[in-house]
Structure 1
Amino acid sequence: MAERVHPAADSPPQSGHFSGNFSSGEFPRKPAPPPSTYVIQVPKDQIYRVPPPENAHRLQLLSQKKPNRSNCRCCFCSFLAAIFLLLVLAGISLAVLYLVFRPEAPKYSVEGFSVSGINLTSPSPISPKFDVTVRSRNGNGKLGVYYEKGSSVDVFYGDVDLCNGALPVFYQPAKNVTVVKTELTGSRIQLTSGVRKGMRGEVSKKTVPFRVRIRAPVRIKVGSVKTWRMMVKVNCDVTVDKLMAPSRIVSRKCSYDVDLW
């Protein structure tokens, strides 16, 4: 049988090896601490995680920012929800109004068009005058139309703005046809030789084309309530037989639209 070799008493124990007899239930003793040192044992339930001093300020800033971000997020979500709710309510209201009143845009046409003050035989500036009669038909059964201040009526020959004026202020009730007459004037309009030549040729054919442009601010009356201000846009192509009163309308064609906002 091989003999058991015991380490010397003064030789230090090797790392990773323990001396002693484990079969008897004894465990190796803990090494003694070096001189001038202390060992303090603290129970595990009394150990707390404390940030080092250099990170304490950063931890405080982060703890303050989190509630602010959360509050801002909540406010933003509430704002979006309120906007969405208002849009839904506005859409429902408009749908109900449309189903109840069935609104339709008024229809417009030029019923009279008289021209004077255009002399094509002289190169001097002209001061034309136009008497334009506009017919407005409100076919709505429950909606009235207020025509307010700030309207404009212009007459063009090609790209030349010959004269301007405005519609009168009036109220048009439901199921009503209103005819208004407006006088338009122009002052010292200089026509080029090409424009004069073209107008003379069209006068000889008795087909002088003009374009009438109308812009009128209106408000719709729904029961006893007035809506916001809207803009009616009317464009009419009118052809007359001569450039003196009384002029006769040869052809006319109007288009109209309403800007709701």
Structure 2
Amino acid sequence: MAERVHPADSPPQSGQFSGNFSSGEFPRKPAPPPATYVIQVPKDQIYRVPPPENAHRLQLLSRKKASRSSSCRRCFCYFLAAIVILVVLAVISGGVLYLVFRPEHPNYSVEGFSVSGINLTSTSPISPKFDVTVRSRNGNGRIGIYYEKGSAVDVFYGDVDLCNGVLPVFYQPANNVTVVRTALSGTRIQLTKGVRKGMRDEVSKKTVPFKLRIKAPVRIKVGSVKTWTLTVKINCDVTVDKLTAPSRIVSRTCSHKVKLW
């Protein structure tokens, strides 16, 4: 009988594997060809590089972004420089105007203060009347003052607002003294028992103190130029000898301040 010849085991073809799944053996990876190396790189260390057709576009976008950022910085610097220049010019202009015109604050004083309509023998509400004369002196040689509408004049006894009124509208030229008179009135002012008693005691001493408060919008004229509207606040403490007309001023002091805005 002829002897059988079994073919030798041939290596697995591509896509095939050898091994026994039932015995827990897994197929081995095919060995790399000779003279080659296998390098494994972790996924988080793979850097993406734009394809060659987008490289030029990436460069253009990077340049535009850098140019835009540089332009914004340049505009901001120009803006700051403009503000600094304006502030410096304003300071210089103000200094020049001060040296040329030598501005002075006007002086204010109370020249007349007549009281009527205050009855302290009754508990009924009072309707007081005041005639107030104010003297304004403008000692500036080249500066005029416009006293405009919207003023307010009040007379207080302690914290009680007794009457109110307004100043007349007028223009005070340079190196001028102007005396203005204004009539003030109050309606149905109820005085407390303590206020009435205090007034009676001060009438007996012939020293009745009042507070005069004036708030006036003004504009300054320098040469042919007028400023924006400023606010002058005048505070005067006036003491009279009685609460009937004519009353005499015993003492008076005035102060004022200017609000630029």
TM-score range for the pair, normalised by the shorter chain length: 0.7 to 0.9
Show CA shifts across 1:120-167 (max 9, x none).
Answer: 111111111100000000000111111011111110000111111111
Equivalent position amino acid for 2:190 in 1: Q
Aligned residue number for residue 245 of structure 2: 245
CA distance in structure 2 between the partners assigned to 1:59 and 1:155 by the alignment: 78
Aligned residue number for residue 225 of structure 1: 225
Show CA shifts across 1:36-64 (max 9, x none).
Answer: x9xxxxxxxxxxxx961499798876554
CA distance in structure 1 between the partners assigned to 2:59 and 2:157 by the alignment: 77
CA distance in structure 2 between the partners assigned to 1:148 and 1:247 by the alignment: 30
**Are 1:52 and 2:49 matched, yes or no?**
yes
Unaligned runs of 5+ in 1: 1-32, 38-49
Aligned residue number for residue 153 of structure 2: 153
What is the DSSP-based 3-state SS (H/G/I as helix, E as strand, rest coil) of the residue aligned with 1:235?
Answer: strand
Show CA shifts across 1:171-194 (max 9, x none).
Answer: 001110000000001111111111
Aligned residue number for residue 186 of structure 2: 186
Residue 260 of structure 1 and its aligned partner are, at CA, apart by: 2.1
**Are 1:112 and 2:112 matched, yes or no?**
yes
Whether the 8 Å CA contact 1:109–1:254 is kept in 2: the answer is yes
* Distance change >3 Å, CA 163–CA 58, structure 1 → 2: farther
CA distance in structure 2 between the partners assigned to 1:117 and 1:65 by the alignment: 80
Whether the 8 Å CA contact 1:162–1:186 is kept in 2: the answer is yes
Taking only the aligned residue pairs, the percentage that are identical comes to 76
Equivalent position amino acid for 2:49 in 1: P
TM-score normalised by L of structure 1: 0.78
Equivalent position amino acid for 1:52 in 2: V
Show CA shifts across 1:199-231 (max 9, x none).
Answer: 110011110000001111111111111111111
Whether the 8 Å CA contact 1:154–1:214 is kept in 2: the answer is yes
Matches within 5 A, 1:1-261: 52-53=49-50, 63-261=63-261
CA distance in structure 2 between the partners assigned to 1:58 and 1:195 by the alignment: 86
Whether the 8 Å CA contact 1:105–1:258 is kept in 2: the answer is no
Whether the 8 Å CA contact 1:126–1:190 is kept in 2: the answer is yes
Residue 66 of structure 1 and its aligned partner are, at CA, apart by: 2.3
CA distance in structure 2 between the partners assigned to 1:176 and 1:90 by the alignment: 29
Residue 67 of structure 1 and its aligned partner are, at CA, apart by: 2.2
TM-score normalised by L of structure 2: 0.78
Provide the aligned C-alpha RMSD in A.
Answer: 2.5
CA distance in structure 1 between the partners assigned to 2:58 and 2:196 by the alignment: 84
Residue 235 of structure 1 and its aligned partner are, at CA, apart by: 0.5
Whether the 8 Å CA contact 1:148–1:218 is kept in 2: the answer is yes
